[in-house]
Amino acid sequence: MLLLDIKNLTIELETPDGLIRAVDRVSLSLKEGETRGLVGESGSGKSLIAKAIVGVLNRRWRIHADRFSWLGQDLLRLSSEQRRKIIGRDIAMIYQEPSRSLDPTAAIADQLEEAIPSELLEGSWWQRPFLRRKRAIALLHKVGIRDHKAILQSYPFQLSEGLCQKVMIAMAIAKNPKLLIADEPTTALESTTQAQLFRLLASFNQLRGMSVLLISHELESVARYTQNLSVLYCGQLVESGETSNILSQPFHPYTDALVKSVPEFQPELAPKAPLYALPGSIPTLQHLPIGCRLGPRCPNARKECVKTPMQERLQNHFYSCHFPLQYKAEK
Amino acid sequence: MRKFRLYFEEQHRSPLAQLWREFARQHSALFGLALFSSFLLLSLVAPFITPHDPYLQADNLLLLPPSWSEQGLVQYPFGTDDLGRDLLSRLLKGTTFTFGLALVTVIGALLAGLALGALAGMSQGMKSSFFNHLLDLILTIPSLLLAIIIVAVLGPGLANTAWAVSLALLPQFVHGIRNAINEQLKKDYVTAYRLDGANNWQVLTRLIIPNIWEKIIVMSSMALSTAILDIAALGFLSLGAQAPIPEWGAMISDSLDLIYLAPASVAIPGLLIFAAVLSVNLVGDGLKTAMQRRRES
Amino acid sequence: MINFLLRRLFLLGTVLFGLSLLAFSLGYLFPGDPLQNFSGIRQLEPQLRAELTAAYRLDHSYLSQYLAFLNRLWHGDWGLSLASQQPLLSEIRQVLPATIELTSYALLVSFLFGVPLGILAAIKPEGYLGKIINTITVAGYSLPVFWWALLLIMVFSVGLGWFPSGGRLGVLYEIPTVSGFMLVDIFLAETPYQQVILLDALRHLALPTVVLATFPTTVMIRFVRDAMLEVWEQNYIKTAKAKGLSRLQVLYRHGLRNALLPVIRQIGLQFSALITLAMLTEVIFSWPGIGRWLLDSIYQRNFPAIQAGLMIISVLVITVNMLTEILHTFFNPLARKR
């Protein structure tokens, strides 16, 4: 059974000048134990989708979807109470700037112990505080923090970003979630810590069967650690499928441009050769093009592109383009 | 009323126009602005539109009740006080003294505070640290107390009140302006400007002041409400305006013994003080909220 | 932490030093004979004058005069009141507790009412409750305190007769002054009428406290509301919500602590504004506190009393400020970083 089943999700924003469609008919699905990457430039709406799943968008945003269900239950129809319960139990999320996601006036121990749900502790009620503390220490060890004593007593501003992010991950896995959503977890970290973090997430996925939704704008890191990939451009789902397939044979011009812009994926690149990039830049929310939003920049664009392309499928590889690239050029 | 737009055009408004748009969206702020402007207008034209002379005593019409009671006369809409002076005329003239004088003291304190605050903000090192400590010391004494002490030294009277209130407001302005300037100095565009070769004066006038004037306006509105209340309080304590000047606070204390016979002569001046301070506060709040909303959108 | 305390104490010392300089210079700024201003003695015969001039070192430089002044302050000789010819310090000791009592109750009321109302106003800022609270708040801090007091007296005291219009205790009752704080003294006194006297004292306390508490309560509501709205937008609140906590739990565990921290500091700042409002309130309600005493001294041109009163009030304000700052740092882990 699918963990997360989203079909044609649309998120709109009310502004004084009208409704702006920030996310336009995106479909996403996640199975148990799967790692999926969600790639896109800033402004493509990936954080919005994550926030919509967890339910922290404020009232100015309107969410519609054909299907938006978690383990078969439609999230949009539930009251916020029930939704909070389900999400609190099964989904965890880690954010971009971990030090700002921690309460500055509470010690780490309090915040970590708060994240441990009471149902997971076995023992009578007077044993609870000790069990909680034991479990918190165990969680810290699992994320790779040996010196738990110092960390537990300190406040968030005393820890580095990498440590804060590890604490956030510890808080996230405390309730044994079925899904971990990582919203650009490594943007504020140094590269060595980034690698550590990804290995950590991969290990949780393999050992505990936890699904991971990894949201990022860097294709390299996402490609290495995910099985499936969804590419977003400007709120529209451009391509989705298995990572290896997408990288070896992208169908959509945007995915092609993304792959070509990363030197690591092109071993035959001659030294001092110019990197490929699409002309222009991402459109602002007030000036979204009609139809396929890549239209103005796409090298393949033609008259039909003013109509939004439907999603088509070729052997588990989904793409939305009227004129997909059929095959890579022969080397 | 929304303008009919055929094509979707993007409107670029200047920050000032955006500020006005956000300000005008708040009903309370507009109401406050209307009240404020009417007080301002009144304080300027009051000497010319009073129906009777505010200082003229009419011996035959002592303590006339307001015109809505049976013994009242229409020519004296709010009645007269115990010396036979028309209350309405005195109230109108009082606008100049309470409201107008408060405005003058605030402007004076603002200009002096700007000069001193700029000096304090732009200087660094020992000089500024000494100055800052001195400022913190003066700030601990509440403004009304400071004003009372200054009046005690100089003696009562309206002119001395003006000086006292101005001097009492000065530390707040200097403190606020100095903080605002310090905040601006940390910004990168000031560094860029200096690297281009600007000297202190140019940085101050062309870069810093245009960026902090909105904060200054909000500070001035808070100072204005304090000034009105302080001038009225000093008048009430008979330390400020002396008889026969029809300053609103002084009018309240004059009519205090007659509070049972003529409650209107105590209630109405106080109501006017309340309305004046309310209008200033509404405008100040409206500006603050408008600036915040403009930043968000 | 020790470092911080030491620095604070040093700052306190410099501020007090500056204050004493100001008070000293007032002796010369006030009109009249400086010797009279310093000592407070009305009749200065030539011999007494010569003695005092030597004692106060008025014939030496300003510096030695100032040092002599500090010396006198330290030993408790603050001069005599020009009006009553009594030692100033003992007069102040009689009137100061009344003001402190009134002000503390007003602060307490402002805290008790201001914080919950502020939080209520922040929960739904655009809703009806938020708008009503906002309107009352703006009206509240626009009120001139003396007019508000008169209005309440007219309605509740003269009109309805529920509360007395002045004084601290009915003239029928006699309570020996032990601490100066009326409610404490009533508990300490041994009289069979304790209940009745307590009730009477509370009735006398009611109107002045309400009048004095209006301004700080409204400022507190406004402040708590702004702080709460700002904290609610922060990332860690969203994290806490995503952890699965209910809104109430998030509010209580994370929101309150972060929002109320700047409020502690605000209380200290409120105190100085409160003192001046207390002066006006005391005049209207004939409350025997230091505010009314100071104003009477000003009317009587009692310069030594003015000097002493100013010093005492400033020391009080500075001390309260310092205490709240220390409290704020104690509760705020971020500020300890410095």
DSSP string, C15-34: HHHHHHHHHHHHHHHSSS-H
Question: What is the pLDDT, as a whole number, of residue A181?
Answer: 92
Computed over every residue of chain B, the mean pLDDT equals: 83
Contacts of A287 in chain B (CB under 8 A): 10
| Amino acid found at C283 | V
Q: Is the dihedral of CA B191, B196, B197, B203 positive or negative?
A: negative
Chains that touch C (3 or more CB pairs under 8 A): A, B
Contacts of A176 in chain C (CB under 8 A): none
Question: What is the pLDDT, as a whole number, of residue B125?
Answer: 62
Q: How close, in Å, is residue A20 to chain C by CA atoms?
A: 22
Computed over every residue of chain C, the mean pLDDT equals: 81
Q: What is the pLDDT of residues B169-220, one digit of tens each?
A: 888 888 888 888 888 888 888 889 888 888 888 888 888 888 888 889 988 9
Stated as kind and residue range, the H or E segment containing A230 is: strand A228-233
Question: What is the pLDDT, as a whole number, of residue C1?
Answer: 67
Question: What is the pLDDT, as a whole number, of residue C214?
Answer: 92
Nearest chain B residue to C29, by CA:
B153
Single out the residue of C291, C290, C95 nearest to residue C177, CA to CA: C95
Q: Do the Cβ atoms of C244 and A88 come within 8 Å?
A: yes
Hey, of B145, B255, B274, which one would you mutate to test binding to chain C, going by the most C CBs within 10 A of its CB? B145
Question: What is the pLDDT, as a whole number, of residue C252?
Answer: 77
Contacts of A109 in chain C (CB under 8 A): none
Question: What is the pLDDT, as a whole number, of residue C210?
Answer: 92
Nearest chain C residue to A50, by CA:
C242
- Reading the block at residue B244, the tokens are 């026969």
What does the alpha-carbon distance between residue B142 and residue C272 come to, in Å, rounded to a whole number? 5
For every residue of C76-142, DSSP letters joined together read T---B-TTT-SBHHHHHHHHHHHHHHHHHHHHHHHHHHHHHHHHHHHHSTTSHHHHHHHHHHHHHHH
- Does residue C46 or residue A279 have the better pLDDT? A279
Q: Which of A112-116, A149-153, A301-305, C35-39 has the lowest mean pLDDT?
A: C35-39
Question: What is the pLDDT, as a whole number, of residue A310?
Answer: 87
- Reading the block at residue A49, the tokens are 């989708």
Residue with tokens 């000789």: C77
% of chain C exceeding 70 in pLDDT: 97
What mean pLDDT do residues A101-113 have?
86
Residue B10 touches chain A, beta carbons under 8 Å: yes
Q: What is the pLDDT of residues C198-237, one digit of tens each?
A: 888 888 888 899 999 999 999 889 888 888 888 888 888 8
Q: Do the Cβ atoms of A56 and C234 come within 8 Å?
A: no
pLDDT of A331 higher than 60: no
| Amino acid found at A100 | R
Question: What is the pLDDT, as a whole number, of residue B174?
Answer: 87
Question: What is the pLDDT, as a whole number, of residue B126?
Answer: 61
Residue B189 touches chain C, beta carbons under 8 Å: no
Residue with tokens 């100013």: C310
Residue B270 touches chain C, beta carbons under 8 Å: yes
Determine the Cα angle at C326 with ends C320 and C330, to 5°: 140
Residue A93 touches chain C, beta carbons under 8 Å: yes
What does the alpha-carbon distance between residue B258 and residue B35 come to, in Å, rounded to a whole number? 30
What DSSP state is assigned to residue A328? P
For residue A213, report the phi and psi dihedrals to the nearest 5 degrees: -110, 110
Question: What is the pLDDT, as a whole number, of residue B105?
Answer: 93
CATH architecture of the domain with residue range B42-49+76-296: Orthogonal Bundle (1.10)
Hey, of A99, A105, A119, A183, which one would you mutate to test binding to chain C, going by the most C CBs within 10 A of its CB? A105
What does the alpha-carbon distance between residue B6 and residue A267 come to, in Å, rounded to a whole number? 53
Stated as kind and residue range, the H or E segment containing C279 is: helix C256-285
Cis status of the peptide bond prior to B244, with omega within 30 of 0: yes
Single out the residue of C22, C294, C23, C31 nearest to residue B155, CA to CA: C31
Single out the residue of C148, C111, C89, C101 nearest to residue C304, CA to CA: C89
- The predicted model scores a pTM of 0.82
| Amino acid found at A185 | P
% of chain B exceeding 90 in pLDDT: 15
The residues, any chain, with a CB within 8 Å of residue C85's CB and separated by 6 or more, are C40, C41, C42
Q: Who among C235, C242, C245 is closest to A100 (CB)?
A: C235
- Reading the block at residue B115, the tokens are 């000069």
Strand A211-216 and strand A179-183: pairing? parallel
pLDDT of C112 higher than 80: yes
Single out the residue of C332, C131, C124 nearest to residue C229, CA to CA: C124
3-state secondary structure (DSSP) of residue A205:
helix
Strand A228-233 and strand A18-30: pairing? unpaired
* 8 A C-beta contact, residue A252 and residue A231: yes
Strand partners, C286: none
For every residue of chain B, DSSP letters joined together read -PPP-SS-------HHHHHHHHHHH-HHHHHHHHHHHHHHHHHHHHHHH-SS-TT---TTSTTPPPTTSTT--TTSTT-B-TT--BHHHHHHHHHIIIIIHHHHHHHHHHHHHHHHHHHHHH--SHHHHHHHHHHHHHHHS-HHHHHHHHHHHH-SSHHHHHHHHHHHHHHHHHHHHHHHHHHHHTSHHHHHHHHTT--HHHIIIIIIHHHHHHHHHHHHHHHHHHHHHHHHHHHHTTSSSPTT---HHHHHHHGGGGTTT-THHHHHHHHHHHHHHHHHHHHHHHHHHHHHHHHH-
Q: What is the pLDDT of residues C168-203, one digit of tens each?
A: 777 777 777 777 777 777 777 777 777 888 888 888
3-state secondary structure (DSSP) of residue A330:
coil
pLDDT of C335 higher than 80: no
What does the alpha-carbon distance between residue A135 and residue A174 come to, in Å, rounded to a whole number? 8
Strand partners, C235: none
pLDDT of A242 higher than 80: yes
* 8 A C-beta contact, residue C122 and residue C225: yes
Q: Which of A44-48, A100-104, B5-9, B273-277 has the lowest mean pLDDT?
A: B5-9
Inter-helix orientation angle B143-154/C2-29, to 10°: 20
Determine the Cα angle at C12 with ends C8 and C18, to 5°: 145
For residue C149, report the phi and psi dihedrals to the nearest 5 degrees: -60, -45
When pLDDT is cut at 50, 70 and 90, the band that residue C338 belongs to is: very low
Question: What is the pLDDT, as a whole number, of residue B137?
Answer: 67
- Does residue A329 or residue B211 have the better pLDDT? B211
Hey, of B27, B36, B146, B149, which one would you mutate to test binding to chain C, going by the most C CBs within 10 A of its CB? B149
In chain A, positions 228-247, which contact chain C (CB-CB < 8 Å)? none
What does the alpha-carbon distance between residue B107 and residue B169 come to, in Å, rounded to a whole number? 10
Domain ranges of chain B: 42-49+76-296
When pLDDT is cut at 50, 70 and 90, the band that residue A268 belongs to is: confident
Strand A4-15 and strand A18-30: pairing? antiparallel
| Amino acid found at A316 | N
Q: What is the pLDDT of residues B16-66, one digit of tens each?
A: 888 888 888 888 889 999 999 999 998 888 888 888 787 877 777 777 777
Report CA C63 to chain centroid distance, whole Å. 32
- Reading the block at residue C270, the tokens are 């409120």
What does the alpha-carbon distance between residue C290 and residue C134 come to, in Å, rounded to a whole number? 34
